[in-house]
Amino acid sequence: MSPLLSVSRRLRRTPFSDGVEAAGVKGYTIYNHMLLPTVFRSVEEDYHHLKTAVQVWDVACERQVELRGPDAGRLMQMLTPRDLRGMMPGQCYYVPIVDETGGMLNDPVALKISEDRYWISIADSDLLFWVKGIAFGYRLDVLVDEPDVSPLAVQGPQADALMERVFGHDVTNLRFFRFGWFDFEGNTFAVARSGYSRQGGFEIYVEGHQNGMPLWNALMEAGRDLDVRAGCPNLIERIEGGLLSYGNDMTRDNTPHECGLGKFCNTQTAIGCVGRDALLRVAKEGPIRQIRAIAIEGSAVPPCTAPWPVTVNGRKVGQITSATWSPDHKTNVAIGMVRMDHWDEGARVVVETPDGARQASVHEKFWY
């Protein structure tokens, strides 16, 4: 079913690739020009394990864009309609990044390291190019670069138990979307309570390529009796959880409001955001289409490799961009965007899959 991936230097290996291979990775995707594992045993077996135990994920492909210098804060606010005035060092903010038309360029998590230093942990687009272009065009006093920092995620209900063994008890005191600095074998890494699952856990920002495998091995060793395994963002779990994927569920064509990210937009007060003018109207009136959870009836759907039309009485009212069978919920779970006249809870629609039309229903909440 899946085609083969031809490897090359351009599809960058990560500091953890040796560990991923030793753990028997079975599939990859490419994300920020880098290898991102997609499956170890099977997507379904990985899913059940993620929900019950603990996994270590190579998410080095979440590359960092570092802003450093007197204008770092100003530049950070130019990038996003979220009001950053209350952001303190040690906080992570999920920040929609928009261009001058309000179109989504990325949906990263930003870490405020200090008043004049931020890391932006990016989704799959070369956000560095936009940030460098803006910084140069505005002659800002800031350095913008990709540092040698590679996130490693620890996810699952046993994540606290595992992390405590490697980083000490204090790491378990981290609150959600906060980060602190923790030692490992003479190095100090930022560790955040965050991650691309709904099962809880941490992301460790590993500085220095050479420090990757020692930490990977230490986590695997320490978690043996917790049944720790190599894992990866899981297609089923992320759709159940409504975790959006840039490039899948949203693109530059979409505003944050269409993506259901209006709550992260303070368009009135985010002074300086380059997309603010473009977003003022949509912020006031609301979008005319929006991300929704969609339950697709019938047997397991095929992989969604291109948008599937959502129709009502033969007229297109939206599209599906991620879909899979959910073993726990015994239905196909999907993420799509639906026009306002059909986005209310329980609305009945038809999804045109490659295997034929399916009955489906629209939901305001995801499956978590």
Q: Is position 217 an interface residue for a second copy (rule: CB under 8 A)? A: no
Q: Is position 11 an interface residue for a second copy (rule: CB under 8 A)? A: yes
Phi and psi at residue 327, to the nearest 5°: -65, -40
DSSP 172: G
Q: Is position 322 an interface residue for a second copy (rule: CB under 8 A)? A: yes
Identify residues 247-276 at the interface with a second copy (CB under 8 A). 247-248, 274
Shortest approach of a second copy to residue 351 CB, angstroms? 14
Q: Is position 99 an interface residue for a second copy (rule: CB under 8 A)? A: yes
Q: Which is nearer to a second copy, 245 or 255 (CB)?
A: 245
236 touches 49 (CB < 8 A):
no
Q: Is position 236 an interface residue for a second copy (rule: CB under 8 A)? A: no
207 known member of a binding site: no
Rounded Cα–Cα distance for residues 81 and 274 (Å): 8
66 touches 119 (CB < 8 A):
yes
Q: Is position 307 an interface residue for a second copy (rule: CB under 8 A)? A: yes
Which one of the spans 55-63, 99-107, 184-192, 217-225 is the region binding a second copy (CB under 8 A)?
99-107
77 touches 276 (CB < 8 A):
no
Q: Which amino acid is at 108?
A: P
Q: How far is CA 261 from the centre of its chain?
A: 13
Shortest approach of a second copy to residue 335 CB, angstroms? 10
Q: Which is nearer to a second copy, 199 or 234 (CB)?
A: 234
Rounded Cα–Cα distance for residues 37 and 39 (Å): 6
Rounded Cα–Cα distance for residues 222 and 198 (Å): 23
Give me the torsion for CA of 174, 23, 305, 128, rounded to 10°.
50
Q: Is position 25 an interface residue for a second copy (rule: CB under 8 A)? A: yes
Indicate the annotated binding residues for substrate.
203
Binding site, annotated residues: 203
Q: Which residues bind a second copy (CB under 8 A)?
A: 2-11, 13, 25-30, 33, 38-39, 99-100, 105, 124-134, 136-138, 245-248, 274, 303-307, 321-322
